Structure 1
Amino acid sequence: MDNPGASILSALGGGSGINFMQLADDLAEASYGVQRDRIERENETLEARISAASLLRSTLTGLASALGDRIRGGDVAPRAAIGDPAVARVATTPGVTPSGSFSLEVTQLARGQTLVSRGYASADAPVGQGTLTIRFGRVDGASFAEDTGRAPLDLAVGPDDTLADLAARINGQAGGALNAYVATGADGAQLVIKGEEGAASGFVLEPASAASPPEAVPGDLSYLAWSPASDAGELRATARDAEFELDTVARSSPSNRVTGLPGGMTLDLAATNIDAPTTISFADDPGAIAAVMGDVTAALNDLVELLAENAAVEGGTLGSDAGARELRRDLQGLTSRVVMPDAAEGEPSTLADLGLSLNRDGTFRLDNARLSATLEASPDGAAAMFTTGVFGVFATIDQLARDNSLSSDPGSLGGSVVRFERLVERGEERLARIEEQQAALRERLTRSFVRSETRIAASQSTLDFLRQTFQLSDN
């Protein structure tokens, strides 16, 4: 901030020989510098505590998130096995635990309609001006039942459009419902149009030629007309649904990818096995559970190490923080916490049952013998602990992260962060007031020094006058 008395002191010529400008700055700084330095040091400490508490909080939240992703991704879900893998591929819905076995007999695969037009001279042959309408529905023998709930596809065809242009236009405007291309073979260039899987995805071609009169010859759009009643060999495959039996119950699907099955099972049908049903079974994967528990143990130890570094009683950034103390208590009680309150007697219900053990120094270890015993004695009970439901390993770690991140709880890390941030804000406000007070003091001192310098300059002028007078009288 510019000193308002600077120009005045400069104009007076500094008759006293004292740098009043510097003196005013030094006095103002001496009056408030100590307070300012102390508050700035306090704010630096608070910023470090915010950083440490936020790091612990985010590490814990990251652990919960990563565990949830692995469970939802099916890392510990029972593994599906199918007797004849050529018939279908089996997958499970993340977070759902299927069990038991199922018989599967596929009698028909879903497929889409395939239509091949009559021949043209080449892919560059014109198809004729007009509008080609493609309607969707069911083709059954010589009949077609339109799906009135599905909008037809209207394609405007220009006078210079070729067979290749029309194929590209179908692909561009069908939104994936149709796939068209030009195939050149013994019968010339032919437009191939393929529809989606499912009996309801059949289609007919209804051209409206601009020619007058229209004539069903190459170069006239009418040449592309097709319906099942007029089929002359253009229909190469009829759209149909997949048909199969699951545990002898007849089912159908418009797609070979079948969802909504028991236990969250999904099937990708690949072949038929008429009169030769195969078996689908699910088995728990002990190795996957052991791998997840090993990773959880390692992640918890990383958190413990970070907590020890930042919350040491002596020298730790969070040494006396309530949130850090609460997290330490929560971690120490983690192994004995009941994560499956509804577990039957003898079934695993705690993280200790899954092998998580606490060392004397507060770190964790995985007791593989305890884990193996649990997996052998109660494989289903152990698997049930790895879901995204309200109980289980994930729910426990997730709740631990939420509790320690709660900003409204002064005893959590979240509450600590809020408290530290408020103290920083107050420190910034105090620094702003000190800056204003220091500037005001500097201004008052400068004005006082201006008055003093004025008086000194006047006295100096009087003294010079008297000296000159005495010198004249002596002469």
Structure 2
Amino acid sequence: MVSTTSSTTNNASTGSSIISALGTGSGIDTNKLADQLTEASKMAQAGRLTTKKTLLETQISDFGLLRSSLSKLETAAAALGSADTFNAKSLSIPDTKLLAMTKLDAKAAAGSYQLKVEQIAQSQSLSSGSFSSLTSPVGKGTLTLRLGEWNAGLTTFGVDSTKTGATITIDDTNNSLTGLRDAINKADIGVSASIVGDGGAYKLLLTANSGAKSEIEITATEDAGALGLASFNFNETTRNLTQQQEGLDSKIRVNGLLVSRESNQIKDVVEGLEFDLFEASLTETVSITIAEDKSIAEQTIRDFVTAYNTFKTEVEKLVGFDTELKDYGSLHRDPLAKNLMQGIRNVLSSSVPGLSDGFTSLSNLGIRTELDGSLKIIETEGNTGFRAAIDNNFDWVRDLFVPKTSSSVTNIDVTKFSAKSQPGNYEVVITQQPSKGMLTANDVALTFPIDTTGKDYQFKIKIDGAESALISLPDGKIYASGAELATELQSLINLDADIKAARATVSVSFSSNKLVFTSDAYGSSSKVEFSAIGADISDLGIALGAGTTGTNVGGTVNGEAAFGFGNVLLPALGSKAEGLSMTVQPGATSGTITFSRGFSGTMTSLVNDFLKTSGLIKERETSINKDIDKVEKDEEALDRRSDAYRARLMAQFQAMESIVRGLNSTGDFLDGILDRLPFTAKSG
């Protein structure tokens, strides 16, 4: 009995102890415990995601820094690619009132020049008769204005076929002095019209551009019943306007050679030098000196070396070990950043493609790569080095840096290249000559001089497919020679509004008693044709019909068929020479063309592959941003799994709490059961 009672007591004590420990519930902060267990489960994976995201965001930031540093390097390299950098000139000129320098271009030839201004240019001006008001009618019809040169007596006018005149129409919409003024100005042919007051009356004043061959000829065609335009005639037959001032060319002696120009703005007497004339003097001579200025090129090269060394220092912190942070940069393992740095080092140390003589690499110029990868300029090294290169071989220095195209023959000229053009030498063979559309008329049936009085010398002509309106030689005009007749026809054709609108032009010459009409364009669309003729035009050998159509140039580049349009030859698409453009002159048969991007072009081309909008850095940034998006999605997924895990824990804890509450109830019941059982009740 004792034994049984003792055993029961021990069990009850143990149960009571458990129940006592649990109390009325578990006594545990299940919310806190669930948070701790969830955080412990999430911590390792969340840490990996955070580390990865931080690295990716740092890489995005560092690629921005790389882009900025690379852009500065590109700017410094691009400055080396400008021919003007290496062709810079300095100018020395004394004080003078005769002229003033306005531009010194890099292509100006170095040398000393003695300038003597003997005559300044002036413009011809013509004035009309008087009109009572600005709205006075002037008549209706057309005024044909042409430009050329009058003789001293104003009896003979020679048209300048290189200048385009105009035909002005006066009708009900502009039949007034102001309407005529505005119509002439709108034609924009180098003749300005203005109205000047004269004692209560008004006159039209016409002013040509300066120059002896910019003088004006005007021929009126009046509408019946609205006469008046004839008062503006100024031609060999009738001169109803008054010449106030004749046109003159400027005259300058350059080192003793007399040259003339139409304007006082001189742009082509000394190549690359422009100046304005103010006064003439038969006694004063202006001495100017143009000298090469190598200092700009030298400083630009030095600036590039400095820019590269700065670039290297900045980028090494991103791709190498940052001594300040005592850690590797975020791009340390990035293959794109490594390829960029290797590519730039290769350009710095390699020969420039397309160059075979002179300086072909930076080392020839005395620019060396140090052990730490930086660039250093070796000023002198025996008879070589940077100083000797600048002083003694400046042309080679320029060719090293500046893109260069050349041709072994003068009638094949390389005019353009593109980003797709690869440096090198290319053999060009011309298989078809370029030609212009041409029409050779029949023999002129008359002998010179030819008088147009009473003759129907009208025609329509098509130039490169553009048809003119009806053109007529002026009535009552005498042509002393075939050359004079050809010049007149060329002026009238190129003056036609429809021909001008199509941007077509023609050259007319006279040879072997025949007029020859030649389109100024090359190619298969180049053609000359007479589509309508007057009754007497056959006297001049002109008949209906077309001449010979032009041809496009044909040829090969390195054995591959090229595309020809007019006299322009383009290498085949996809070939190494793609993007090169050549102008081929008649007579060319073959030649070798050479193309080099120069150091500058090679460097900027490489850098641009990384920097451009669709470049390699942009692609890498896009890829990193996608990785960041993926990490953020992984973080969201981890949060969802963690929330689910916590929910499961809370459900389990709630189940436990339910069990504990049940156990507490059982414990309360067991606390008094021994006292109520037989043989175990306590005695009073």
Q: Specify the TM-score bucket, using the shorter chain as the normaliser.
A: 0.5 to 0.7
Task: State which of 632, 647, 651 in structure 2 corresponds to 1:431.
Answer: 632
Match for residue 623 of structure 2? 422
Is 1:398 matched up with 2:409? Answer: no
CA contact (8 A) 2:139 2:175 kept: no
Alignment deviations for residues 399-428 of structure 1 (CA, whole Å, 9 cap, x no partner): 1232345359xxxxx656634532431342
Alignment deviations for residues 29-51 of structure 1 (CA, whole Å, 9 cap, x no partner): 94875465344323212212321
Richer in helix (by share) = 1
Task: State which of 280, 287, 312 in structure 1 corresponds to 2:295.
Answer: 287
Of the two, which has the highest radius of gyration?
Answer: 2
Q: Secondary structure at the match of 1:230?
A: coil
Match for residue 129 of structure 2? 118
CA contact (8 A) 1:103 1:277 kept: yes
Structure 2, unmatched stretches of 5+, are 1-28, 406-422, 424-594, 662-684
CA contact (8 A) 2:85 2:296 kept: no
Greater relative CO (CA pairs within 8 A, separation 6+): 1
- One-letter amino acid matched to 2:204: L
Alignment deviations for residues 318-370 of structure 1 (CA, whole Å, 9 cap, x no partner): 344455555656666777655594445xxx55545656455665544555565
Q: How far did 1:58 drift?
A: 1.8
Written as runs of structure 1 = structure 2, the 5 A alignment for 1:366-405 is: 366=377, 370-382=385-397, 384-385=399-400, 387-389=402-404, 395-405=598-608
Determine the C-alpha separation between the residues in 2 that align with 1:378 and 1:273: 42
Q: How far did 1:395 drift?
A: 2.3
Q: How far did 1:65 drift?
A: 2.7
| Equivalenced residues, count | 425
Match for residue 45 of structure 1? 58
Is 1:77 matched up with 2:88? Answer: yes
CA contact (8 A) 2:89 2:108 kept: yes
Q: Secondary structure at the match of 1:181?
A: strand
Task: State which of 295, 304, 308 in structure 2 corresponds to 1:296.
Answer: 304
Is 1:128 matched up with 2:329? Answer: no
Change (3 A) 1:154 1:303: farther
Q: Secondary structure at the match of 1:126?
A: coil
Structure 1, unmatched stretches of 5+, are 1-16, 409-413, 461-475
- One-letter amino acid matched to 1:401: T
CA contact (8 A) 1:119 1:187 kept: no
Q: Secondary structure at the match of 1:435?
A: helix
How high is the sequence identity, in percent, across the aligned residues? Answer: 15
TM-score norm. by structure 1 comes to 0.61
Match for residue 182 of structure 1? 195
Alignment deviations for residues 64-104 of structure 1 (CA, whole Å, 9 cap, x no partner): 23333xx344563355789999689696766x585788999
TM-score norm. by structure 2 comes to 0.46
- One-letter amino acid matched to 1:298: T
Change (3 A) 1:333 1:30: closer
Written as runs of structure 1 = structure 2, the 5 A alignment for 1:196-235 is: 196=209, 199=213, 202-204=216-218, 206=220, 212=225, 214=227, 223-232=231-240, 234-235=242-243
Match for residue 71 of structure 2? 58
Change (3 A) 1:19 1:76: same
- One-letter amino acid matched to 1:400: M
User: RMSD over aligned Cα, in angstroms?
Assistant: 5.9
- One-letter amino acid matched to 1:418: E
Match for residue 485 of structure 2? none
Alignment deviations for residues 297-336 of structure 1 (CA, whole Å, 9 cap, x no partner): 3333432332344334243343444555556566667776
Q: Secondary structure at the match of 2:192?
A: strand
CA contact (8 A) 2:217 2:234 kept: no
Alignment deviations for residues 90-121 of structure 1 (CA, whole Å, 9 cap, x no partner): 96766x58578899999987765432223446
Written as runs of structure 1 = structure 2, the 5 A alignment for 1:256-405 is: 265=272, 270=277, 283-314=291-322, 315=327, 316-322=329-335, 324-325=337-338, 338=351, 341-344=355-358, 350-351=361-362, 354=365, 356=367, 362-364=373-375, 366=377, 370-382=385-397, 384-385=399-400, 387-389=402-404, 395-405=598-608
Match for residue 194 of structure 1? 207
Determine the C-alpha separation between the residues in 2 that align with 1:201 and 1:430: 79
Match for residue 487 of structure 2? none
Determine the C-alpha separation between the residues in 2 that align with 1:257 and 1:187: 37
Determine the C-alpha separation between the residues in 1 that align with 2:294 and 2:223: 67
Q: Secondary structure at the match of 1:229?
A: coil
Q: Secondary structure at the match of 1:406?
A: helix
Deviates more, 1:74-83 or 1:375-384: 74-83
CA contact (8 A) 1:113 1:238 kept: yes
Determine the C-alpha separation between the residues in 1 that align with 2:61 and 2:386: 40
Deviates more, 1:381-390 or 1:299-308: 381-390
Determine the C-alpha separation between the residues in 1 that align with 2:141 and 2:652: 99
Determine the C-alpha separation between the residues in 2 that align with 1:336 and 1:40: 38
